[in-house]
Structures are given as C-alpha cells and as structure tokens.
Structure 1
C-alpha cells in the first residue's frame, strides 16, 4: 500500500463497484456512481480484473478456504493515470495480495476525465471457501 495524501478534494467523484474473483473466473456486479464518465471507468476496471485475479491465483493455494474483499481508493490524474492507491478495507489480510494489487492498479490508465477519486471493491476466494 502507498500512503495517500491526507487532503480530500471537495466534490471528488466516487465509483463503487463490486466484483468477485473465484478460482480462475471473475464476475462483476453493478456499480453505483455519481459522476460523468463513471460507466467508462467501471468498464475499464472490469477489463483489468484478470490482472488482479492473477495476483490472487499466484498465492491462493497458500491460503486455503480464505475469502474476502479489498476496497480500493484510487486518485486519478486528469489524463487518467493513477496518482495514488490506498486499500481502505482489507478483509483477507494477505500482504502479498495487497502489494501485488496496488502495484498493478498503479500501472492502469483510466479514460481521461479530470482529477478525481474513485473507489471499487474486488472479492477473492480460494478453493474450499464457502
């Protein structure tokens, strides 16, 4: 995780998506949002889910029966690059997963749309989790 600036931008847009990654499959659910361009950002996140799935697939066998979600807070620059990433909620507590996911998200380039903060959640489950 990287530390984010303590400041919050007033009026920043939020995007909240829930996605589930189970075994080798990834499914995404609906998304609540309130700012123009949110549908494009949601589609972009959904297209990148296999990259986050790969982070979990590499280590899932070390954590049998584990399941949970990570809620990411991401600050985007005007041109769509990622300024910072923070994990607001970590239900799994698997440091390797968190580090891999943050590293991956930092490489993403969202559609341009002005500086804004977005949130999205991703669920992970290892074989044998209920």
Structure 2
C-alpha cells in the first residue's frame, strides 16, 4: 500500500483546491490562492513522517502482544518455573520494553503483511 500524494497534500494543506494525477507531481495543478503549492520534497517528507509514525505504532502493538504472551511467566505461582528462568523472562520483557528506543526506525520497512507487518526488525529471543 503506497502512500498517495493526494491524501498527503490534503493533510499538509487542508481545504486547498488542487488536482493531481496519481503520484505524478508534475501533474499537480494548484487552484488555491489562499495557500502555497507544496514542494514535492515537502510531500515526500510528510509521507516519510507518516510512515515512521505507523512503524512505531505497529512496533508497539506487536511488542505489547509479546509482553502479554509472556505475562504468565511472571505470575508468582506459575508451575515448574525456576528462578533463573524467571530472570530470563524479566530480561526478555525489559528488552521488549526498551525496543522502541533502541532501534533506528528508518531501518524498518512496512510490509502490510498481517503475520509480519515490519521487516528489518530482530525481536528479542523468547527464553
């Protein structure tokens, strides 16, 4: 799913009047005297910003799923778990929590695949 210029321009210059053919910047006709025509670089920067926001949102959703899946190991009366394994899960969970602050979001790509929505990310290993 590729970001489209039309939607991006609408978010940069809400209410502006213009026409554009797909993502062809050269076809952009600016009919609005109340605002300036955005440069193609401004459009591309906004698309990148929006994609990065989406990457962080997906990262946090997927990270939170992994935290929920490992919650049971933190329950004090979980059967047959050693203290060393509890410590391993604590470290795993801390690594998951730290992940948004330790990655370079530009290294990740959106795949738009339900089973693996981000590529370029190495998740902490489940103990």
TM-score, scaled to structure 1 = 0.28
Flag the structure with more relative contact order, 1 or 2, with Cα contacts below 8 A and sequence separation at least 6: 1
Structure (1 or 2) with the greater helix fraction:
2
Structure (1 or 2) with the greater strand fraction:
1
TM-score, scaled to structure 2 = 0.29
Q: Which has the larger radius of gyration?
A: 2
